[in-house]
Amino acid sequence: MSAEAIRVDRVRRVYDIGTGGSLTALDDVSLTISAGTFVSVIGPSGCGKSTLLRVIAGLEQPDGGAVHVGGVTPAQAAEHKMLGLVPQTPALLPWLSVLKNVSLPAKVNRSAGRKRRAAAGTGAPDMVELLRKAGLHDVMHKLPSQISGGMQQRAAIVRAFGLHPDVLLMDEPFSALDEFTRESLQEQLLDLWDELKATVLFVTHSVSEAVRLSDKIVVMAPYPGRIIDVLDIDLPRPRGQAILKTAHFHHYEDLVRDRLRGAFQGAAS
């Protein structure tokens, strides 16, 4: 894996919206993300955050420009299991226990996982241990329907980390959760990220979530969807609950809100 985990070069994505009209969801978007960093994308609804994630994941082709993940195309990265994706809703299989759900991708992709771990010099992640770290040890034999939404989302995150992806793409994974569950999941996500050393690209609408999690925050604006700023978040790690009350943290929240205000004004005019 090169030091450059994700490279987005002048990407354009235009949707056909019927009766001859079109909508530019991404206009000349360029972004470089270093390996092992945590980067959030924030911006008003419709600015192209999910489209950007889908293009990086290889789920959609750009209409212009190029995307590379670890130096290869998204399709090649997906084939080699370099990419993981955590959607807004956990999408666990309802008939399998939590443990079987999180273990399934590693079983299905056994040989790809073995090759990649050998290359990285790491062993197979111990799913029971990961579940314990995520606070799910006591419920690992339960079905998804028998645990809370927050626990289901935690399981989805453990499942995504289980393949040891180089790059993990997360699309508002905590949006349906209450604030306290959200804060505790942020902490667990940071612990897993720190241990498993993936590059994370994380879409959120929450300013404080973006500041707490990220090394960099990408601010986007809509019509057309574009990047208007990339902010460095120079806060110490680990970032436990206490950091949320510091002046330094509030300073970054204000900075992001200022930049977002510009994006929202643009969206309204």
Ligand X SMILES: Nc1ncnc2c1ncn2[C@@H]1O[C@H](COP(=O)(O)OP(=O)(O)OP(=O)(O)O)[C@@H](O)[C@H]1O
Q: Contact positions toward ligand X, by CB under 6 A? A: 15, 17, 23, 25, 43, 45-51, 225
Closer to ligand X by CB, 29 or 190: give it.
29
- Nearest approach, Cβ of residue 52 and ligand X (Å): 7
Which position has the token pair 């991708």?
Answer: 105
- Nearest approach, Cβ of residue 29 and ligand X (Å): 11
Closer to ligand X by CB, 52 or 233: give it.
52
Closer to ligand X by CB, 48 or 74: give it.
48
Closer to ligand X by CB, 39 or 47: give it.
47
* Dihedral class, residue 36 (left if φ above 0, else alpha if ψ from -120 to 50, else beta): left
Count CB atoms within 10 A of the CB of residue 46.
16
Whole-angstrom CA distances from 147 to 101, 102, 142, 174 are 13, 14, 7, 16
Which position has the token pair 């206490």?
Answer: 242
Count CB atoms within 10 A of the CB of residue 99.
19
Closer to ligand X by CB, 25 or 155: give it.
25
| Core vs surface per residue 215-239: b (16+ CB within 10 A) or e | bbbbbbbbbbbbbebebebebeeeb
- Nearest approach, Cβ of residue 46 and ligand X (Å): 4
Query: What gap in Å lies between CA 132 and CA 155, rounded to an integer?
Result: 11
Count CB atoms within 10 A of the CB of residue 91.
13
Q: Cβ distance 51 to 67 under 8 Å? A: no
- Nearest approach, Cβ of residue 263 and ligand X (Å): 10
Q: Which amino acid does the sequence have at 229?
A: D
Closer to ligand X by CB, 52 or 98: give it.
52
- Nearest approach, Cβ of residue 137 and ligand X (Å): 33
